[in-house]
Each structure stands twice: as structure tokens, then as C-alpha cells.
Structure 1
Amino acid sequence: MAVDYTIRGGVAVITLDNPPVNGLGYSTRLGIVEGVERANDDASVRAIVIIGAGKAFSGGADITEFNTPKATQEPTLTTVIQVLEASAKPIVAAIHAVAMGGGLELALGAHYRIAAPGAQIALPEVKLGLLPGAGGTQRLPRVIGLEAALNMIVSGTPVLSEKLAHTGLFDELAQGDLLEAALSLAGQAADRGGAHPKVRDRAIEHPNPEGFIRFARNGVAAVAMHFPAPHKCIDAIEKGVKEGFERGLAFERECFLSLVQTPESRALRHAFFGERAAGKIADVPSGTPVRKIERVGVVGAGTMGGGIAMNFLNAGLPVTLLETKQEALDRGLATMRANYEAQVKKGKLTQEKAEERMALIQPTLAYEALAQADLIIEAVFEDLSVKEQVFRRLDEIAKPGAILASNTSTLDLNRIASFTSRPGDVIGMHFFSPANVMKLLEVVRGEKTEKDVLATVMQLAKKIRKTAVVSGVCDGFIGNRMIEQYIRQALFMLEEGALPAQIDRAIEKFGFAMGPFRMSDLAGNDIGWAIRKRRYREQPELHYSRIADRLCETGRFGQKTGAGWYDYRPGKRDALPSESVDEMIVAYSKERGIGRRRIDDDEIVGRLVLSLVNEGAKILEEGIAAKASDIDMVYLTGYGFPLWRGGPMLYADTIGLYNVERAIRKYAKQVNGDAWQLSARVTELAKSNGRFNG
């Protein structure tokens, strides 16, 4: 049973005990109901306290029961709350650490609430594309007011208990032991006798509710155009304001059931579970011992190296930062300081914290200074011969058991590992630029990487607040291997009749944060040029458009040179269509003998997105990615794929693999169609009406 029942001085104590956050699964819900009924049947019991064991009151629904019959098996949370409200004996909810989602709704069903300082209070369902489903939209406005409740529900953002101490949510904020304070409050309530207060009986207070709701709708429309849940939250709150608690409650349930079926909620829930699933590796059990990481070394103080170092400084880990020249080292340190100063100016960091983090850096020009580091990350130029020099040197000076990591984005990690006498200690840690901001970390598992090394890096990723996804070794790993096919199709479409602004506009309308040509200009067109030159040497048979090479030959490398696929004004990042580039594209088509045609936005989106899907399917076939959700997490957190579509593989599931296969076969019949090599996984799933994601 996930609930413990004891009696303390005439008060029944029902303790939720379902680690890690006392999720309200079937056993927990049943235990609460049985505990309340047992207390009411016991003449020696005067009152009831509900409290959470461990590190939370309750984090809400038990995610292990999602999409199983137990999730809706009676008693549901709504039934549990009805039992609480109907109790003849007063019930006190004693909240510490976390009361979120259904956990907060449970507390709102109690007659009284007491909280410890620092408890995080939230109704975060909107982040899953849903709204509270057990009365949250109706009860919270009745205890903290319409405006505060609407803001909490629509944003899903946690609020500390101290900030809600003077609202009607809490009867007390406990200063000492929470259980003792709750027992005292419960005893006082029992002594008073009479009817016990119910949140449902309170009025919603606001001087101009209709005006505020209208104002809130306008605000939500501006920021949540792709997500229906925030709008439904407001609808449910408004129903309660206008028509009362019971009708509001019934309407909330209708909204919840309709939102569960939306593709947007499906995408958000997919991302939620995908992030958690990414950390589970089939052959690396959760109890695998990990290595102690107390000091980190970073080789290279450039943009990437400095950004990587900041992740560890932010987590309180000292970093030894190595460069080969003092000028480069000074420049890197100045950039890091400037980044922290910018956070101070924005109020995101105190000056004291900024100084503490900078003080954790040990700058050096000597490899020997890395000798005591537990983890050393190489962030040097993307060239195998340069990597070889670094790893041979690290192998000489690093202590036994130190993890040696490469930040390579495309190179063969197994070859890099072979430059050392300890390939089991070598792993890929591919950060995304800017490394101190971007959430994704591709963790590349070499053929000889030890399991404890992998487990250590996955655990460390959580500490530095990254979403870590494991990739096998191949050219480009998951993200860059797929994006190469996306860029290939974009370049082919330039040859065939489109222009950069049209392609970017179409895919950005689909929901990408940035189109392929704006993205290339931002990253630097010379980076892609260097990769293509390597392709031409290693895979001369590969069909590739040379139109981007022509651009680079003119020195148009993007924003850093003031000209790329677009023109840029000094000091500004606005991408302005370039007449000279458009003329160059048209001339190139003529030179190749390709008749230009009108390419509509649907074809642009189809070819770009399905190029990702098709390559992602090959990555799954080869075992480079363990599961489709891992690929989706890479694209949601590292490549600007629209969150409300759930990633390329879920998008393919949504439109159906039969339709995906038909579209790819159609594209393969066009000019440049030989670039499409249909994945066997796509064909297999199309025939079986299957899905990438179960």
C-alpha cells in the first residue's frame, strides 16, 4: 500500500508514501479513501491530517500509470476529493516541498491547509497541453483570487508557499515541525466543531471579472497561438465565475477530455515522457556505479569551450580551462565574464554569484594542470588530426579513471578513442551552441565506452541541466546526420526553382524557429562548406548540390561577414533578401540545365521534414538511436523543431507512415530524386500501419 495510517493523540495521520514524489496512483488514491473512512468510523479519532513522506507532499498524477486502466480506475482523484469534502471530521493537508497538479487539487479538497516555507505550489497541466482535471480551475480562484489563480493555471509556473501565505490557500505557514503544526491545527478545528469549510462554497473575488478575463484572453492569444490548452483554462475559469462551481467543474472535465485528444497535447506529453525515457539505457541499469566528478577540465577557451565550462561553473564544479596561447585564454575568459555580466544586468544573477562562478575557473597554458581532473572535455577545431594531438596528450597526463570526452559534432569517436590507451574511458559529449544556453547534449557511446562512464555522464547531464540523448557512432551522430539531408533538400530546391526567403518562410510557418538558410548564415556557411569538402573526398559518388559552395567561394559566410544567403546591415541581424544571391541561384540552375519551376510551400515543408524522418528511420534501423523518442528529443531541444508537433518521428506517426512513404516515393521521381533512398523501416511501418513511437 502506498499510504501509511497511524494515530497521534486522537488525530489520524494519513501519510502518502509513493516515491519519488508521492504520485496519486490507484493504490495511493485507494489508501486515502480507506484512511478517511477508517478515521471517520473510529470514535477515538477527532481529526485527520494528510501529509507526504520523503521529498514531496504530492507531485500529482502517477506518470507510471499514464495510458493504463489504473489511471481512471475508481476511486479517481475527483472521487477522493469528494470523500475528503464529505468527511464528518476535519481534514488538514500538510504540504511540504511540492504540491503540484493533482497534489494541489487534493489539498484544495481538504478543509484546512498548512504549508512549510519553500514549498512549490503549481497546477502545471498546461505544460502537457491539458488543464487541471479534478477541480483546480474552480477551487484555486476561490482561495487566491481570480487574477493570481488564472496566471498560475495558464502559465503552469510554480509559486513558493511564502508568496501565497496571506491568501486563502493556507490557514497557516508552519515555522517549526510541519507534522506537529498540522496536528495542532487539526486539534483546534476539532475543538471548534460545527460544519467544516469547503473551498467549493467560497465566492470568486475580483472587482471586474469580465474585464480581467477579456484582458487575459488577449494576452494568451499573443503567446499561445499553437496551443489550445491555455485558452481552455480561461474558458473553464470563466464558466465557474459566471455559472457557479458545479457547472464550472463539469465544464472543466469536458475540456480535459477534449484536450487529451488534441495533437498538441499528445506532442507535449510525448516530449515530457521522451525526456525521461532518454535517460533510460537498456543495458545500463539504473543502479550502475558512477565515477566521482569533482573537477572538470576543458581544452579550448573559444566560444564552444567557454560555453561548456560555464555549465559546470553554474553547477558549482571547478573548471581548469586550457588554451595554447595567452591571448586566446584571455579572450575566452573575457567572453565568459561578459556573459555573466549580461545575466547580472538582466537580473537573472547576482553580482556575488557571478564572481563566485568566475572564481571557480583555473586558467592554464599547461596540459599538466589537467592531471587531477575527473572529466576532461576537448573543444578544439573540428579536424581529426587536431583531435589526435589533443587526445594523445591527454592520455599521457590524465589520471587513471578520468573520463576523456570529445565535443566533436561529426567525427568518428572510435578513431578518437583509439588515440588513447584507455578507449573505455572515452565518450562523446556534443554540446550545442551556445553551449551555456542550449538544452541538448548528445552523448556519443563508442564501441569500447565503459558502462560506468556512460552512466556517469548521463547523471552529470542532469546536474548541469541538460537533456542528454545517447547516440551511437556514425558521421554526424543523430542531429547533424539528419540535418545534412534536410540541408541537401533545401539546396536542391534552390536549383529547381525556389529562393532562400521562400524556403525559410515556409518552414518557419510550419513552426521551425529558423529556416535552413537563416540557420546557415547564423552558424557560418564555411562550417557546412568544410563538411561538404570532406564528403567530396570520402564519398565522391554522393549527389550534392554545389550551389552553396558557389556562395562560399564569394566569401559570403553569413552574419559574421555581413553577407551570406541574405544581406545584413552592420550591427543588425535582420536577414534581408539578396538580389545578387537570387541572381546567382537562377544562373546556377541555367548552368546545370535545370528548368526552374514553381515550388509550393507544401512541397517545401514535405521535402524538408520528410528528409529528417527518412534519415531518422535509418538511424533507428542501424541502432544509432535506441528509440524514436530519442530522435524527437534531439530535434525538440537542439534544432528548433516545433514543440506542438512533437518532433519529426512523432509528426510522421501523426500524418501516418503510409502517407510518408507515398510522399517520399513521389519526391524520388523528381529532379534530384536520386538523393532519396527510402528507409526500409518506413516501408515496413507503412505496410503494417505501424508507428515509430509505441
Structure 2
Amino acid sequence: MSDVVTYNREGAIGVITVNYPPVNALGHAVRSGIQNAVQQGQDDADAKALLIMAEGRTFMAGADIREFGKPMQEPGLPEVVNFIEASDKPVVAAIHGTALGGGLEVALGCHYRVAVPSAKVGLPEVKLGLLPGAGGTQRLPRLTGAQKALEMITTGDFVAAKDAQAAGIIDEVAGSEDVKAAGLAFAQKVIDEGKPVRRVSELTDKLEAEKGSDVFDKFREGLKKKARGLLAPFKCTDAVEAAFTSSSFEEGMKRERELFGELMESDQRAGLIHAFFAEREVSKVPGLPKDTPIRDIKKVGVIGAGTMGGGIAMNFANVGIPVTIAEVKQEALDKGLAIIRKNYENTAKKGRLTMEQVEERMSLINGTLTYDNFADVDLVIEAVFERMDIKKSIFSQLDEKCKPGAILASNTSTLDIDEIASATKRPEDVIGLHFFSPANVMKLLEIVRGEKTADDVKATAMNLAKRIKKVGVLVGNCHGFVGNRMLHKRGAEAMALVNDGATPQQVDKVLTDLGFPMGQFAMGDLAGIDIGYSIREERRKAGEDVPPSWMDKLAEQGRLGQKTGAGTYKYEEGNRKPIPDPETDKLIAEFRKEQGITPREVSDQEILERCMYVMINEGAKILDEGIADRSLDIDITWIYGYGFPAYRGGPMFWADQIGLDKILDAIKKYQKEVGGKQWEPSPLLEKLVAEGKKFGDL
């Protein structure tokens, strides 16, 4: 008997308990332990029914990530689930916490399922580019029918106990949260009522009812938009369909395993697994000890009640932290607070908040017209216009008003944190907290360390990111940090490609075909063309050689993007869909003429290489300079901050998949053809290619 799985009999019930902290993952010891315990229950003449449950905070929560990438040890999960189902004594699963992935498949192998009210179930394998491989695609539709099974398996979303009962997954939701009592009571009822062994694999009524229907064709049509570019949701659909078209359960299982194998070999699975592990690894900062103390953040100040400041404030109110927002004028403050309330009320209309919760959160957000009210805050975040003189003036005032030990943070997206900190007498308390717009939605928090930022401030910022449900990435200080530094290179190349003869929509289509939710120019319209214009103007003032751009002309004409109804594209009222605009084409043609450029045909492949490889080259320079500690920091920044498709694993992982030698050859080609510092090969990239290594080897 495994140490992590025990068998004890209570009355006529053989109780099988899994205890493998933290989440009772289905590692080898658990799988073999369950199989042995079920056998022990079968051999126990006094056991009339078996109960499978788990200790700790949850039922079994899927595969053991510690075994990822290693050869599978027997028994595999499909064999264990089949072994449970084959029992000639009724087996009951008692679920608390979450039954996810393989955990739910174990429960589906049982003959009955009872859950406590707070429990949730789900099959989230699709989020790792996989499908449930232990019978989940064959057993679930036998309980729920095709539509519900398709929805659960292709989204990976969790289902609450009551909803799972309504769908036929759970037989009973207990009246209390005592999972063992619930399981024993249900198992005793099975014995007392003489309930039969009910094997899910043998149920056919739901299959017969929907055979020959068009549910699968309709579902695939919907996936074309919802799961654009993704492989796993379509393979999941094929697997569920096999439950309805196969001549037997065994044939359907064979098809499930074939499709599972195809996904295991796919680049998308590799990319999603990399993103999964990278998100967990990114919180472990090299050189920052685990036991670094953190400062207590009980109260927060935010400067600026605009779109960004309001969104930042919402993050704190959402987790119960009081926020004070400062503005210069009462009118701006009232407008900002009204927008926050409207955002919350819109969420309530969608059923994701109650009106009581709206009022609770609004009660945590207060406004002020003076920094005097920041005297007792533990953290203040400045979120004003991207101008160094304004930011330095604010930080000088905060230095006087805020208590010792308060963290002073800037939401700057590009500016020098050290220069901002120089306006204070406490540079060790200054850090960059770069939220992404909309700040209450986007998951990334780019945390920028200054030269003198204290370790406990860094640790506090990383901890705070988790607290407000963000993915925090700690990076170094330079113009644009990690994300925007790379984006600016891509943006400059995208504009140069249009100068050469491409159209904005052609450039954008290449990027969306790669998997980005929107292209460079549509994204600029969403963010506001004035932001990029302001950044370019600041750089010009600083003496940098920033070439003229047709986008400067858009800004000067007041075409600032979606907020003005026209930018690179035009927009119809109430619709965010970008529409190509002849006025922009005309402006670009005039710009080319002014610059003496004769337009040429630009291929999609050239657009892909120039937009993406320039980013890879810059990413390599960022690594070489220590601005990012690891390539995974860059990958996570781009996945959560800029919409890089997670199934490609992030830009640096994607580069490893393409081949660094191929990318370096292209960079050298564009160095000759295009020129400019952006095409000077990174020494690190050259070194990796010479040594036959990848970014992932660093």
C-alpha cells in the first residue's frame, strides 16, 4: 500500500483516502496507490461499497507537474480509471475543492459522485494544448450530452457543484462542507437501497438521442472564431464526436488516445506547457532570497483618475484594499470616479458582481485634491501623463508628504526610474509598477527595479502582484524596459514597411495570422496615437535621432485612434472594428513623396521577419544587458502584456522553435538591406548560434 493512499473500512464502507499535498496530483504513487486500494476493497469481504476521497484542501487536481517531460510509469491513468470502473462493488467519489483533469476522470470512473456545495469540476487540459486522455472525452458526454461536454472540454472552464449536478455529472450535492460525512452517507445509501454498479462507459441513452445531429458541425463553426489559430479545441471536438460515432466505448477510447498523441507531438502543446511553467517560474526572482521580508500594504494612493489611474485603483478595491485617488481638479476626479462606478455596474449587469459588491468596492475608493491625504498610505502609484518633468515634480512632493517606509511607484511605460527616483531623498523606496491598459483587466504587471531600489521593495511588489491577481515580472531599468523596448522596435519596423510600400492592414494581418489578437496599427489606435507621438517627441527632445513618421501627421491632425473615431483606421460609432481609411492611404502616399520613397511590393514573409525578428534581436540584447534575467521573463511579459499567442510560448521560446541560426541569418540580411542599429546582431544571439544553444538553455 502506498503511503499517500490508505485503505480503511468504516462499517460496510471501504474508505480509500488520497493524501498527497498540496493538491493530491495524480503522480505515480497516487495512481498505483489507488489501484492497490481498490483491489484491497475488492478483496475485503466485509466492504459492501467503496468510497474514494482526498485529504487537504481539494480532491485530485489533475496530473503531477513534477512528472511532466518524464517517461510515464505504469499504471497509467487510463488503466487506473478503467480498474476503478471495473469494480463489482459500487465505488463512490466524494469531491471537495476541485476535481480537475485527471481528478475528474477518476471521479467519472467511479459509479457515483457526491460533492460538497463549494466543489468545482472541470477538464482544463485544453489550456495546455491537450485533451483529457483518460476517458474524459468518452465518459463526460455519456452523462451530459454533447453540447455541455463540448463546452466544458474545449474551454477548460470549471463548473460549480450545483451546475454539475444539473448537467448530470454529480449525483448529489451534500448539505454541508464535511466531505467525509457526505461520502459515507451517500455510500451507505447506495448499500441500503441496493443501488447497482453503474458504469458510465456503459451508458448509451445520451449517445443514442444525439446520433446523427448537426451539433458537432455547428460547434466547429463557432470554434473558428472563438479558438482561432488553436489546435486543441478542434481535436477535443473530434474526440467527443468519437463517443457518438464509434461502435463501442473501447473504439472511442482508442480514438481519444490517437488524438491525445497528436497533440502531445504538436508545437502548440510545447508552447502552452512552456507558458504554464514559465508563469510559475517568473515569480522566483534570481538573486532575491525567498525569505526577503515584505512591507505591509494596507492602504494605497493613486495619482490620476484617468483611464489608467481608475483601472489601477479598481485592482486594489477588488481585493479589499482601500484606495485614495488624487486629481488636480474636482471635475476630473468626479469623472474618474463615475467611470469606475460605471465599470463595476457593467460587470454587475453581466452577473459577475452583485450590486452589494459594487457598493462595497466603491466604498473603498475615495477621492482627494491634495497629497496631504497620502500621509498614511503604504504605497502610492503615480499614473499621469508620460512626461519626465511632471513625474519628477510629483515624486518630489510625495517625498515630503508620504510617511517613511511608504513605497513610491510610477506607472511609467518608458521613462527612467532612476531619474524619477532622483527627485526624492529615498530612491530605495522607488520602483516602477507598469500596469497595462485596461489596468483592471490586463494580467501583466511589469515591475521595474531602479539602481537603488531596496530588496524588500522588490519583494513587496512581486507579492502585491499576486495579491491583486496579476502576473508580476521583475525587470531592469532602461527606456521602455522589456515590453515596450521590444514593441518600439517592432513599431518602427512596421512603419518602415508601410513607408516601403506595404499597407497598414497588410502588416496587421500578418501579425494576427501569427496569433496576435490585433496588429500593430490597430493596437496603436486602441492605445491612442497620441501616446506614441508623445514618446517620440520626448525622445527627440532628449536628442535621440527619431525619424519623422506619417503617424506623427495623424496625431497632429487629431486622429488619435478609437477615442476620436479615426486613427490609422476609421471607426463607426459604438464599434471597435478597424476600417481601412482612404484618408490614411492618401496621407501615407504624401509622406512617401515628401521623403522621396518609391513604393514597392512587400511580401508577407518580409513583414513577418522584419516585425518579429527585430523583436527577437532586441530581446537578446535585453538578456545580454541583464534587463531581463531569463528568456521566460520576456515570454511572460509578451504573453500577458501584448497578446503574444500563448500557444507559441512567447517570443523567445518561439524563436527557439524557429531556429536561432535561421533568425540570425535573416537579421544579417536585413542589416545589409535595411541598416540601422536595430539590425546589428545581438552578441548573445551570435554566441548562442555559434555554440548550438537556445535561449531556453541560458
- TM normalised by structure 1 equals 0.93
Contact map agreement 1:46 1:187 (CA 8 A) in 2:
no
- Matched length: 691
In the TM superposition, residue 633 of structure 1 has moved relative to its aligned partner by 1.8
Greater CA deviation, 174-183 or 204-213? 204-213
In the TM superposition, residue 553 of structure 1 has moved relative to its aligned partner by 4.0
CA distance in 1, matches of 2:575, 2:228: 28
After superposition, the Cα gap between the structure-2 partners of 1:25 and 1:519, relative to the gap in structure 1 and judged at 3 Å, is same
What letter corresponds to residue 283 of structure 1 in structure 2? G
In the TM superposition, residue 194 of structure 1 has moved relative to its aligned partner by 9.3
The one of 49, 55, 58 equivalent to 2:57 is 55
Greater CA deviation, 222-231 or 187-196? 187-196
In the TM superposition, residue 41 of structure 1 has moved relative to its aligned partner by 4.2
After superposition, the Cα gap between the structure-2 partners of 1:192 and 1:552, relative to the gap in structure 1 and judged at 3 Å, is closer
After superposition, the Cα gap between the structure-2 partners of 1:53 and 1:590, relative to the gap in structure 1 and judged at 3 Å, is same
In the TM superposition, residue 476 of structure 1 has moved relative to its aligned partner by 0.6
In the alignment, which residue of structure 1 is the partner of 2:34?
A: 32
Task: Extract unaligned runs of 5+ from structure 1.
Answer: none
In the alignment, which residue of structure 1 is the partner of 2:680?
A: 677
Q: Deviations over 1:138-165 (max 9, x none)?
A: 1112223333223222222111111222
In the alignment, which residue of structure 2 is the partner of 1:608?
A: 611
In the alignment, which residue of structure 1 is the partner of 2:487?
A: 483
CA distance in 2, matches of 1:597, 1:578: 20
CA distance in 2, matches of 1:573, 1:199: 47
The one of 203, 212, 223 equivalent to 1:210 is 212
After superposition, the Cα gap between the structure-2 partners of 1:286 and 1:106, relative to the gap in structure 1 and judged at 3 Å, is farther
CA distance in 2, matches of 1:221, 1:104: 27
In the alignment, which residue of structure 2 is the partner of 1:405?
A: 409
Greater CA deviation, 129-138 or 647-656? 647-656
CA distance in 2, matches of 1:168, 1:527: 52
In the alignment, which residue of structure 1 is the partner of 2:643?
A: 640
What letter corresponds to residue 103 of structure 1 in structure 2? G
Task: Extract unaligned runs of 5+ from structure 2.
Answer: none
Greater CA deviation, 670-679 or 652-661? 670-679
What letter corresponds to residue 197 of structure 2 in structure 1? H
In the alignment, which residue of structure 2 is the partner of 1:123?
A: 123
Tell me the C-alpha RMSD between the 2 structures. Answer: 2.5
In the alignment, which residue of structure 2 is the partner of 1:155?
A: 155
Amino-acid identity (%): 50
Matched, 1:464 2:474: no
Greater CA deviation, 571-580 or 407-416? 571-580
In the TM superposition, residue 561 of structure 1 has moved relative to its aligned partner by 4.2
Matched, 1:330 2:334: yes
Q: Deviations over 1:66-104 (max 9, x none)?
A: 1123xx111211222233234454432110010010000
In the TM superposition, residue 266 of structure 1 has moved relative to its aligned partner by 2.2
In the alignment, which residue of structure 2 is the partner of 1:533?
A: 537
In the alignment, which residue of structure 2 is the partner of 1:20?
A: 22
CA distance in 2, matches of 1:4, 1:399: 55
In the alignment, which residue of structure 2 is the partner of 1:315?
A: 319
Q: Where do residues 526-565 of structure 1 align in structure 2 (5 Å cutoff)?
A: 526-540=530-544, 542=545, 544-565=547-568
In the TM superposition, residue 567 of structure 1 has moved relative to its aligned partner by 4.2
Equivalent residue of 2:653, what SS?
A: helix
CA distance in 1, matches of 2:524, 2:227: 28
In the TM superposition, residue 488 of structure 1 has moved relative to its aligned partner by 1.1
After superposition, the Cα gap between the structure-2 partners of 1:293 and 1:14, relative to the gap in structure 1 and judged at 3 Å, is farther
CA distance in 2, matches of 1:45, 1:546: 79
Greater CA deviation, 292-301 or 215-224? 215-224
CA distance in 2, matches of 1:225, 1:565: 25
In the alignment, which residue of structure 2 is the partner of 1:667?
A: 670
CA distance in 1, matches of 2:573, 2:158: 41
CA distance in 2, matches of 1:582, 1:652: 33
After superposition, the Cα gap between the structure-2 partners of 1:44 and 1:571, relative to the gap in structure 1 and judged at 3 Å, is closer
Matched, 1:455 2:459: yes
After superposition, the Cα gap between the structure-2 partners of 1:42 and 1:428, relative to the gap in structure 1 and judged at 3 Å, is same
Greater CA deviation, 212-221 or 609-618? 212-221
Contact map agreement 2:115 2:182 (CA 8 A) in 1:
no
Equivalent residue of 1:210, what SS?
A: coil
In the alignment, which residue of structure 2 is the partner of 1:92?
A: 92
Q: Deviations over 1:396-448 (max 9, x none)?
A: 23233322221111111123233333333322110111211222211112233
Matched, 1:582 2:585: yes
In the alignment, which residue of structure 1 is the partner of 2:138?
A: 138
In the alignment, which residue of structure 2 is the partner of 1:299?
A: 303
CA distance in 2, matches of 1:308, 1:129: 32
After superposition, the Cα gap between the structure-2 partners of 1:160 and 1:616, relative to the gap in structure 1 and judged at 3 Å, is same
Matched, 1:234 2:234: no
In the TM superposition, residue 450 of structure 1 has moved relative to its aligned partner by 2.9
In the alignment, which residue of structure 1 is the partner of 2:172?
A: 172
In the TM superposition, residue 300 of structure 1 has moved relative to its aligned partner by 1.5
In the alignment, which residue of structure 1 is the partner of 2:183?
A: 182
Equivalent residue of 1:535, what SS?
A: helix
Matched, 1:196 2:197: yes
Q: Deviations over 1:230-268 (max 9, x none)?
A: 222222222222222100011101110111111222222
Greater CA deviation, 157-166 or 483-492? 157-166
Q: Deviations over 1:472-507 (max 9, x none)?
A: 111111111111101111122233222323322332
Equivalent residue of 2:516, what SS?
A: coil
CA distance in 2, matches of 1:77, 1:26: 9
In the TM superposition, residue 202 of structure 1 has moved relative to its aligned partner by 1.7
What letter corresponds to residue 469 of structure 2 in structure 1? R
In the TM superposition, residue 7 of structure 1 has moved relative to its aligned partner by 4.0
In the alignment, which residue of structure 2 is the partner of 1:505?
A: 509
Greater CA deviation, 77-86 or 606-615? 77-86
After superposition, the Cα gap between the structure-2 partners of 1:569 and 1:247, relative to the gap in structure 1 and judged at 3 Å, is closer
In the alignment, which residue of structure 2 is the partner of 1:343?
A: 347
After superposition, the Cα gap between the structure-2 partners of 1:216 and 1:488, relative to the gap in structure 1 and judged at 3 Å, is closer
